[in-house]
Amino acid sequence: MSSYPIMINAFDPSRASELPENEQALLARRQRVLGPAYRLFYEHPVHFVRGEGVWLYDAEGAAYLDAYNNVPSVGHCHPRVVEAIARQAGQLNTHTRYLHSGILDYSEMLLATFPGELSQVMYTCTGSEANDLAVRVARQFTGGTGFIVTRLAYHGVTDTIAAMSPSLGTRLVLGPHVRVVPAPRSAGAAANPVVHAAAAADGGPQVGRDFAAGVEAALGQMRREGIKPAGLIVDTIFSSDGVFADPPGFLQDAVAAVRRAGGVFIADEVQPGFGRTGDSMWGFQRHSLVPDIVTLGKPMGNGYPVAAMVAKPDVLAPFGSHCRYFNTFGGSQVAMAAARAVLEIIREERLRERAQETGHYLRRGLAALGENFEVIGDVRGAGLFIGVELVDDRATLSPATRFAGELVNELRRRRVLISAAGPAANVLKIRPPLPFGRAEADLFLETLEASLAHLQA
């Protein structure tokens, strides 16, 4: 648990000489002009030139099934989003200090998808900026400074938010007022993945109690150190922690504890939001609670840089009276046009429902694979955000880290894109664009089965 790779599924540049010449040339240019902080995916990086729906195409025209990218959520290059961007970019693209109805129309449409108390929204360009703003708002409202995050949380890359993102690696120094708690451990990580649902239902309350106990301990630590709590922030699908969705409601005890201590609850919906979890538009709804602040990002504009923070008006008020906030590109007409197209497509193409249906189908198929492949220790998630925990031993759940890496790369060789997550990098992260349907799920399952068989042969 204490050591994990600096980045899961990263290309190792020392192996550049094994690549084809044209890719070596691209790589050399990258290293020269982009410097040392950039990373590529896979043992053999992929060079894409075109995207459409759930497919990406490489420079030779080969098609890859995208079961990984959650940003192009309504499908790569969805023509309606492209058209909305092009039309608005040709008409007007300026800031929010002039009146414009576009931002209001979209805001009203977006806020209608939230519980009534969450009735105000502010726009940024990235999820990092949204979380950064949420932290400022929470501090101003509570008068506190302490934040609780999960052990392998990822919330973004601004200075303040990177210091609250332990998944960025152990060399990154966390903020002095940041406390780390264990991620909720799904009760479903049982010997037989097929019984997952039943186990989850059984072990349900315990998951919530365990997670709350971690949060209570962190709050106690803050009390002793004289740190006033500002809030608890979690990605409601716990993506980088290893994908934990069940049992529904397990967040409630922890949130209640934080509120008793004077802090707020920030739901980071940058990854689970916009229908991906299937049963609802927002991951927090799975837990039957109303956060004080919610942050949105990645799929919001299907790749156009737009993000937001939604808040209860009383939580936002102290920040609003102390600080003005202006984000040059945030809430611009083009950003709003792109975001509106995405929201309309989700509704009209029933993508949330589709995520729900395909997600069920896919998890059932994965659980079935578990009958033949002992390495599958757990299948979990919600909608089209799925985690498959690979283990060397189903009794001890010892992580099959190396195997997970080989499998991700074997799938890439077979032109299927996923990655891995979790402290031991042994949880397959399956997170396709939402138009992913049964046909693609079947193709995915077949390719996964063949890859498992190949690697275990």
Residues 168-207 binding its own copies (CB under 8 A) are: 168-169, 171-172
Task: Decide if residue 341 touches its own copies (CB under 8 A).
Answer: no
Two structure tokens written together for 453: 């068989």
Q: Contact with its own copies (CB under 8 A): which of 43, 69, 166, 246? A: 69
* Residue 239 DSSP symbol: T
Angle between helices 127-142 and 313-322 in degrees, nearest 10: 90
Task: Decide if residue 16 touches its own copies (CB under 8 A).
Answer: no
Kindly indicate which of the ranges 103-111, 144-152, 277-285, 429-437 contains the residues binding its own copies, using the contact rule CB under 8 A: 103-111
Q: Contact with its own copies (CB under 8 A): which of 15, 18, 62, 104? A: 104
Task: Decide if residue 259 touches its own copies (CB under 8 A).
Answer: no
Q: Which of 179, 184, 131 is nearest to 387 (CA)?
A: 184
Q: Contact with its own copies (CB under 8 A): which of 127, 263, 278, 399? A: 127
Shorter beta-carbon distance to its own copies: residue 37 or 457: 37
Say how far residue 392 (Cα) sits from the centre of its chain: 26
Question: Can you tell me whether residue 229 is helix, strand or coil?
Answer: strand
Task: Decide if residue 264 touches its own copies (CB under 8 A).
Answer: no
Q: Restricting to residues 296-325, which ones interact with its own copies according to CB under 8 A?
A: 297-298, 303-306, 311, 313, 316-317, 319-325
Q: Which of 258, 300, 291, 307 is nearest to 132 (CA)?
A: 307
Site size toward its own copies, by CB under 8 A = 102
Angle between helices 351-372 and 333-348 in degrees, nearest 10: 60
Q: Could you please report the per-residue DSSP string of 278-293?
A: SSSSSGGGGGT---SE
Question: In whole angstroms, what is the distance from residue 278 CA to residue 352 CA?
Answer: 5
* Nearest distance, CB of residue 176 and its own copies, angstroms: 12
* Nearest distance, CB of residue 347 and its own copies, angstroms: 19
Q: Could you please report the per-residue DSSP string of 171-204?
A: TSPPPTTEEEEPPPPPTT--S-GGGHHHHHHHHH
Q: Restricting to residues 391-430, which ones interact with its own copies according to CB under 8 A?
A: none
Kindly indicate which of the ranges 158-166, 182-190, 194-202, 440-448 contains the residues binding its own copies, using the contact rule CB under 8 A: 158-166
Q: Contact with its own copies (CB under 8 A): which of 121, 237, 251, 448? A: 121
Task: Decide if residue 63 touches its own copies (CB under 8 A).
Answer: no
Q: Contact with its own copies (CB under 8 A): which of 89, 191, 290, 443? A: 89
The answer to whether the CB of 137 falls within 8 A of the CB of 316 is: yes
